[in-house]
Structure 1
Amino acid sequence: MESNLYLIWGKEAFLIDQEIDRITRQLREEMGEDSELLYLDGDELTARELREQLEFSPLFTLHRVAIIKRPYWLGKGKKRGNKSEDYIKAVNDYLDGATPGQTLVLTTMEMEKTNSLLKRLNKEAGIIECNTPDKKILGRWIMEQFKQRGRSCTSQVVKRLQSSGQDMYYLFNLIEKLSLQVEGRTIEDHDLEQELDIRDEIKVFKLTDALLRRDLNGGMQAFHQLLEQGEHPLLFLNLTVRQLASMTRIKDYSEKGFSNKQIADITGMKDFMVRKFRDSGRHFTWEEIRRFFALCLDIDWKIKNTSQDAGFLLESLIIEICNQSRDQAGT
């Protein structure tokens, strides 16, 4: 393995998970056994707890991969808050010491130039970009996904999927669904009808996905597109509650030590959905989750029983969910 330190950056969650899998597979091939995987919640752990978790002694396993996904302290200065410096120092202290037998993987959505830790990682870590590929590469990936399932599709299907504006996890799931639905023939353009959400006809799940990422700009943009399409705010509110409930369920199983496969078997969810909710759950504290459910209940009552503007109430919910508690504490 050329590096024991990686920084994976970008907004394409599917590619990020693929790169993490590739790193662990490569380690397995080199060492002849699986490495221990340790997912650290960079938002819920204190700086001291993070430092303690990063300490590694090879008593029970020869190698460990520690993964920290999208910690807020790798973000922009205004969003990081004052406490972020404690976390940055904890990671810097780890990097200053020799830690044989451990590979550290950090992920972030953007390469923020003002972040001192990112500047150091840019020099010392293996840097992997995972943004949405261009249409040519995406087209090859789409065709390969159909081929792996023993299916073929027309060039028009590829073009529509290329231009859909959807993330690769969405496309992966859609290709899986089409491959199961259409048997014995080439998948054609009409098979996509009622299945593909194009950017100009954004669906509610696009908005709830933005909320689970705590992406305020994406959430607001999607919400106003929904309003322009004539969707009622209650539809968004109901689906937000359902998504939060699913995430909470996965978070609970995850913290009890269940694997992704065990959680998928128990809940009946697809593996990629389990991974998605598990990743999202790391960015929410239990206190926040309880507060969000209470706020959803309050907004539901106000929409149905008062004259308050439903759009304004939903905007306040989006802001509340997307603003992380530690960001607020540092401002």
Structure 2
Amino acid sequence: MSRRIYFLWGEESYLIDRELERIAAIIGQESGEEVETIYLDADELNAYELLEALQFSPLFSLQRLVVIKRPWWLGKAKRRGGKTAEIEKIFLDYLQQDMEGQVLVLTANEHSTTNPLVKILDREATVIACKSLGSQHLSEWINKEFASRGLKVEKSAANLMAKSGQDMYYLQNLIDKTALLVKGRPVKIADIEGELETKTEIKVFKLSDALLKRNLKASFQAYNQLLVQGEHPILFLYIIVRQFMALARVKYYNEKSYGSKEIVAQTGLHEFMVKKMLDNARNFSWDELWQLFQIFLQTDVKFKSSSLDDKMLMEALIVEICSKR
């Protein structure tokens, strides 16, 4: 099989992972062989190590799928910091080689058309947009997921889930949990309301998710929407701190080489939450996390004891979180 490259982009991790499974299945069907899948953490590799990792000789496996998830060098210019020249050269060299049996997949949260590497991928790769589903299509997916478990779900319950703002891994976990609770009867809206996070928390999770990705624009969009809806910044701080505590715990166990299931057992977090934190753990160094927890404490004190404007304090905090040191 000739070398192929795929570029998958979109913020919905569930859709990215399903597309990866589809690609692996196609490779296996075409070759009739088991596919070796390797995940590279490009943020932990320098240019030379990345070059070595991409080299492939089919000595022990005739088919290899290499996946590089959300490397920083596929982002926008202000986040790349002008350090992609070596990476760009590596991929230009890679394209000149005939690595029979190897398929390379790169993923990103967005399709940054000004990024020179993305321009290369647009020319040379199969580009697949894994955009988040709208509420109607998401509701249809929820119905299919319940149906695959032999269950019917009330329209109001499916709509509540679809409009919750939660990612698809969270919703899938909720579907699994609900299926166990209802024991074969139709799923009603009360079943979902009892398990779904409160509406206020769901709104703030959009902000915290953007902050975990260090996406300043998305963070301020979510923040301003919360203000319009009448939410108070002190609540934002409480949920943000809780999310970053979860991030630190997952990052710690991940660096101790614990698997996802072991991290779930150690932390008590839901599997979807652990997956989300693993996706974002590389965005923050330990020094940055330590500084942020100090800033969280200072912000909390200022909220409670100073005359400073709450909105200005929260805006300053958002900038601090999204700014790399």
| Aligned pairs for 1:299-314 within 5 A | 299-314=299-314
Q: Give the drift of 1:214.
A: 1.7
Q: Distance in 1 between matches of 2:135 and 2:236?
A: 31
Q: Which residue of 1 aligns with 2:320?
A: 320
Structure 1 117/317 Cα, relative in aligned 2: closer, same or farther at 3 Å?
Answer: same
Q: Which residue of 2 aligns with 1:251?
A: 251
Structure 1 274/159 Cα, relative in aligned 2: closer, same or farther at 3 Å?
Answer: closer
Q: Which residue of 2 aligns with 1:213?
A: 213
Q: Which residue of 1 aligns with 2:233?
A: 233
SS in 2 for 1:282: helix
Q: Does 1:295 align with 2:295?
A: yes
- Matched letter for residue 97 of structure 1: Q
1:173-225 Cα deviation digits (max 9, x unpaired):
33233323323421123434355579898532222112112222222222233
SS in 1 for 2:146: helix
Structure 1 151/206 Cα, relative in aligned 2: closer, same or farther at 3 Å?
Answer: same
Structure 1 291/223 Cα, relative in aligned 2: closer, same or farther at 3 Å?
Answer: same
Q: Give the drift of 1:104.
A: 1.9
Of the structure 1 ranges 275-284 and 300-309, higher mean CA displacement relative to structure 2 is found in: 300-309
SS in 1 for 2:283: coil
TM-score normalised per structure 1: 0.83
Q: Which residue of 2 aligns with 1:113?
A: 113
Q: Give the drift of 1:165.
A: 4.6
Q: Distance in 1 between matches of 2:200 and 2:266?
A: 36
Of the structure 1 ranges 288-297 and 168-177, higher mean CA displacement relative to structure 2 is found in: 168-177
Q: Give the drift of 1:67.
A: 2.3
SS in 1 for 2:127: strand
Q: Which residue of 2 aligns with 1:263?
A: 263
Q: Distance in 2 between matches of 1:212 and 1:229?
A: 22
Q: How many percent identity over aligned positions?
A: 45
Q: Distance in 1 between matches of 2:180 and 2:33?
A: 36
Q: Distance in 2 between matches of 1:168 and 1:305?
A: 40
Q: Does 1:142 align with 2:142?
A: yes
Q: Give the drift of 1:7.
A: 0.4
Q: Does 1:152 align with 2:152?
A: yes
Structure 1 3/48 Cα, relative in aligned 2: closer, same or farther at 3 Å?
Answer: closer
Does the 8 Å CA contact 1:164/1:198 hold for their aligned counterparts?
no
Structure 1 212/48 Cα, relative in aligned 2: closer, same or farther at 3 Å?
Answer: same
Of the structure 1 ranges 51-60 and 263-272, higher mean CA displacement relative to structure 2 is found in: 51-60
Structure 1 286/22 Cα, relative in aligned 2: closer, same or farther at 3 Å?
Answer: farther
- Matched letter for residue 82 of structure 1: G
Q: Which residue of 2 aligns with 1:35?
A: 36
Of the structure 1 ranges 50-59 and 249-258, higher mean CA displacement relative to structure 2 is found in: 50-59
Q: Which residue of 2 aligns with 1:76?
A: 76
Q: Which residue of 2 aligns with 1:273?
A: 273
Q: Give the drift of 1:106.
A: 0.9
The answer for unaligned runs of 5 or more in structure 2 is none
Q: Distance in 2 between matches of 1:28 and 1:5?
A: 16
TM-score normalised per structure 2: 0.84
Does the 8 Å CA contact 1:154/1:188 hold for their aligned counterparts?
yes
Structure having greater relative contact order (Cα 8 Å, sep ≥ 6): 1
Q: Distance in 2 between matches of 1:45 and 1:302?
A: 40
* Equivalences, count: 324
Q: Distance in 1 between matches of 2:92 and 2:160?
A: 45
SS in 2 for 1:150: coil
Q: Distance in 2 between matches of 1:57 and 1:245?
A: 42
The answer for unaligned runs of 5 or more in structure 1 is 326-331
Structure 1 289/154 Cα, relative in aligned 2: closer, same or farther at 3 Å?
Answer: same
Q: Distance in 1 between matches of 2:28 and 2:274?
A: 24
